[in-house]
Amino acid sequence: MVFGMKEGTPDSPLDTLRWYEIPEGVMLQFRLAGPVVRACAWAIDALLRSVIYIVLAVVLSLFGGLGGGVMLIGLFLIEWFYPVVFELHNGATPGKRAMGILVIQENGTPVTPSASVIRNLLRSADFLPFLYAVGLIAMLSNRGFQRLGDLAAGTLVVYRDQIKERVTPSNAPPLKPPLNLSEDEQLVLLSFAERGGELSEERRQELANLISQQTGLEGAEAVAAMTAYANWILKGR
Amino acid sequence: MKQQQFETENLPLWDEVESLMSDLQLNRHKRQLTTEQHQRFPALYRQICSHYALARSRGFSPALVEQLHSLVLRGHPLLYRFRGAWLWRTMQFIFAGFPTAVRRNSGYFVVSLLAFLLPAVIMGVACYLNEDLLYTVMSESMVAQMEQNYDPANDRPGRAAERSSETDFMMFGYYIMNNIGIGFRTFATGILFGLGSLFFLMFNGLVIGGVAGHLSRLGYHDTFWPFVSGHGSFELTAIVISGAAGLILGHALLSPGQQTRLQALKKGAFNALPLVMGAAMMLLFAAFIEAFWSSSSVSISIKYSVAALLWSLVALYLIFTGRNAHGSE
């Protein structure tokens, strides 16, 4: 999630976030997909591909030598170009889509035809010597979780951004906080008001009690006070 | 300005951009909005970007910042997406892009050719002189199959005697899968510092040269050479080109020059791609010749004439095509 400027700095060393400055002058943030989620996506695709092979084999076996020829061409196309077709269509194979991830260029634009072909041809090098061992080592030794094909093609696999509901602030009357708050402290309060709904009442109270020394309030009253302060920051008087 | 005021003022704009983006994500014929509305997108998008920057620098609430970031994130690929004119690009590629790319990388082509040709010639001569040597690179059953296929007693050389003409198409599929697959692997394994490409080139050289020498020794000239000489033009040249593409990757990693290895690899990969795709195209054509022409039972002299024609076609194509094309070199 996006937090203030200071937290998510573009050079924070230990993070799976990747930052890219777009021509409009703002920083885009991508959440990189790691080896496990990508392996799951690959497994789903492998399953789907075997279903396609079986269906093809059953249908084409009715057509003798002609069917056999078509089958072999189909095998070839699916083996090498199945990911390319889906990546160019909407950025993700069905497996990746199911796992909520997609392929993009390092600059955040959709994957280009050349890049998609390169990353999928080099799949055969990443697969060596068995089950993507080379690819896994490559992924673990760079910051972008990129296998060799991604490195050469300049592509990233990232999580698809969820479209979120807009949060409506509570109707509690705004209340001026008892002391002057720094920007970071204000953000903590706003964050508490916006995300509090995801927590249990007990946890909310526990968090609100952390500043009872300053507010002199405990439990439910402290929670209400925090919300009121947040509303003051949001709306003013 | 307080956050709430900022939100109320700009909410209509954000909603407009959101619906515009949803519309742009649809297929062209499913879109609801007019072109005029679509033309507002770049301007609106830049406004959204500045709202996002503003919201962050003013310390507005995390949820709002995240909301605006997700609008920016969704819009970016829509504004900067790639649209291709497929047919034009394909024609451009065949008549200019591919041959110029081969000529631009002629150094790699020569090295690749040597890596293939030297083992092939040496193994060919050695197998012609020694009847047991072929078994060092091929299994007994494969050699036996090969000998049977090209036995002059077999009236349709190049395939087992019991096969009918219906299997021509079957073989076409097989050649596509096998040969283009080998081409792709020869390229891809070049990323292992060029070693994979060299291995595939040399191994294929050994086997192909070995088989040629072995069968010539057995006196099967008139069945073997007419069969392979035709499609060999496109097939062998394409494998050498695939190898050259792999060597580009390997060279980029071994000797990146003034760039980082990663930059060199990326540049190399995009430089090598036309070679790989062009080689795949040539292998497709070769598979067609091999399945439907090489196995046909026309006379040997016609076969050799066509082979000569095909070899000159390959040479002329790679040397001359696209020299004066607009935008080439």
Q: Does A109 touch chain B (CB under 8 A)?
A: yes
CB contact (8 A) between residue B69 and residue A118: no
Q: Does A197 touch chain B (CB under 8 A)?
A: no
Mutate to test the interface with B, among A6, A19, A20, A26 (most CBs of B within 10 A): A26
B116 exposure class (CB count in 10 Å sphere: 0-12, 13-18, 19+): buried
Counting one residue from chain A and one from chain B, the pairs whose CB atoms sit within 8 A come to 179
Q: Over chain A, what is the mean pLDDT?
A: 85
CB contact (8 A) between residue B173 and residue A233: no
Percentage, residues of chain A above pLDDT 70: 91
B172 vs B35: which has the higher pLDDT = B172
How wide is the angle at C-alpha B229 spanned by C-alphas B210 and B177, nearest 5°? Answer: 80
Each residue's pLDDT tens digit, B271-294: 999 999 999 999 999 999 998 888
pLDDT at B33: 80
A214 vs A154: which has the higher pLDDT = A154
Q: Is a pLDDT exceeding 80 seen at residue A85?
A: yes
pLDDT at A99: 94
Torsion (CA) A120, B110, B281, A89 in degrees, nearest 10: 30
Instruction: Please say whether the dihedral angle defined by the alpha carbons of residues A6, A7, A10 and A14, taken in this order, is positive or negative.
Output: positive
pLDDT at A22: 85
Determine how β-strand A101-105 pairs with β-strand A155-159: antiparallel
Q: Over chain B, what is the mean pLDDT?
A: 88
How wide is the angle at C-alpha A127 spanned by C-alphas B106 and A77, nearest 5°? Answer: 70
CA distance A208 to chain B (A): 18
Percentage, residues of chain B above pLDDT 90: 51
Q: Which residues of A touch B180 (CB under 8 A)?
A: 76, 80
Q: Which residues of B touch A121 (CB under 8 A)?
A: 184, 187-188, 276
Q: Does B95 touch chain A (CB under 8 A)?
A: no
Q: Does A122 touch chain B (CB under 8 A)?
A: yes
Lowest mean pLDDT among A36-45, A67-76, B96-105: A67-76
Q: Which residues of A touch B173 (CB under 8 A)?
A: 68-73, 76
pLDDT at A101: 95
Contact criterion met (CB below 8 Å) for B189 and B200: yes
Torsion (CA) B306, B311, B316, B317 in degrees, nearest 10: 90
Cis peptide bond N-terminal to A10, omega within 30: no
Phi-psi region of A166 (alpha: psi -120 to 50; beta: other; left: phi over 0): beta
Among the partner residues B50, B65, B273, nearest to A2 by beta-carbon distance: B65
How wide is the angle at C-alpha B69 spanned by C-alphas B66 and B75, nearest 5°? Answer: 145
Contact criterion met (CB below 8 Å) for B21 and B13: no
CB contact (8 A) between residue A194 and residue B61: yes
Each residue's pLDDT tens digit, B162-194: 455 667 888 888 999 999 999 999 999 999 999
User: Could you tell me where the DSSP H helices lie in chain B?
Assistant: 3-24, 35-39, 41-57, 62-79, 86-92, 98-104, 106-129, 140-149, 167-175, 181-188, 195-217, 221-254, 261-289, 300-320
Lowest mean pLDDT among A19-23, A45-49, B240-244: A19-23
User: Is-above-0.90 flag for pTM?
Assistant: no
User: In Å, what is the CA distance from A134 to each residue of B186, B240, B308?
Assistant: 17, 25, 43
d(CA B213, CA A175): 94
CB contact (8 A) between residue B189 and residue A128: yes
> Which residues does B2 contact at the CB level (< 8 Å), separation at least 6?
A234, A235, A236
CB contact (8 A) between residue B173 and residue A71: yes
pLDDT at B328: 44
- Locate the DSSP E strands across chain A: 17-21, 27-31, 101-105, 155-159
CA distance A227 to chain B (A): 13
* Closest residue in B to A104 (Cα–Cα): B77
**Both tokens of residue B123?**
């193994």
Each residue's pLDDT tens digit, A117-130: 999 999 999 998 88
CB contact (8 A) between residue A121 and residue B52: no
pLDDT at B204: 95
Percentage, residues of chain B above pLDDT 70: 93
pLDDT at A173: 79
Among the partner residues A26, A125, A161, nearest to B52 by beta-carbon distance: A26
CB contact (8 A) between residue B173 and residue A121: no
Could you report the predicted ipTM of this complex, rounded to two decimals?
0.83
B119 vs A229: which has the higher pLDDT = B119
The mean per-residue pLDDT over the stretch B23-33 comes to 80
Angle of helix A113-121 relative to helix B181-188, nearest 10 degrees? 90
**Residue A11 — pLDDT band, cuts 50, 70, 90?**
low
Q: Is a pLDDT exceeding 70 seen at residue B133?
A: yes
Contact criterion met (CB below 8 Å) for A73 and B171: no
What Rg do the C-alpha atoms of chain A give, in angstroms?
Answer: 25
Contact criterion met (CB below 8 Å) for A120 and A152: no
Among the partner residues B72, B82, B268, nearest to A28 by beta-carbon distance: B72
CA distance B56 to chain A (A): 6
Which amino acid is residue A31, in one-letter code? R
CB contact (8 A) between residue A69 and residue B169: yes
Q: Does B329 touch chain A (CB under 8 A)?
A: no
pLDDT at B66: 86
Mutate to test the interface with B, among A1, A2, A20, A29 (most CBs of B within 10 A): A2
CA distance A166 to chain B (A): 7
Q: Which residues of B117-148 are buried (b: 16+ CB within 10 A; e: fewer)?
A: eebbeebbebbbeeeeebeebbeeeebeebee
Q: Is a pLDDT exceeding 50 seen at residue B125?
A: yes
pLDDT at B65: 87
pLDDT at B47: 92
pLDDT at A137: 93
The mean per-residue pLDDT over the stretch B235-247 comes to 96
CA distance B172 to chain A (A): 6
Contact criterion met (CB below 8 Å) for B217 and B162: no
CB contact (8 A) between residue A24 and residue B50: yes
d(CA A149, CA B104): 24
pLDDT at B164: 59
Determine how β-strand A17-21 pairs with β-strand A27-31: antiparallel
Q: Is a pLDDT exceeding 90 seen at residue A52?
A: yes
Q: Is a pLDDT exceeding 60 seen at residue A220?
A: yes
Q: Does B88 touch chain A (CB under 8 A)?
A: no
B164 vs A45: which has the higher pLDDT = A45
Contact criterion met (CB below 8 Å) for A81 and A120: yes
pLDDT at B313: 95
pLDDT at B318: 94
d(CA B223, CA B51): 76
Backbone angles phi, psi at B35, to 5 degrees: -60, -35
Contact criterion met (CB below 8 Å) for A226 and A174: no
d(CA B256, CA A151): 15
Each residue's pLDDT tens digit, B135-162: 988 888 989 888 888 887 766 555 554 4
Among the partner residues B3, B177, B276, nearest to A76 by beta-carbon distance: B177
Which amino acid is residue A232, in one-letter code? W
Q: Does B162 touch chain A (CB under 8 A)?
A: no
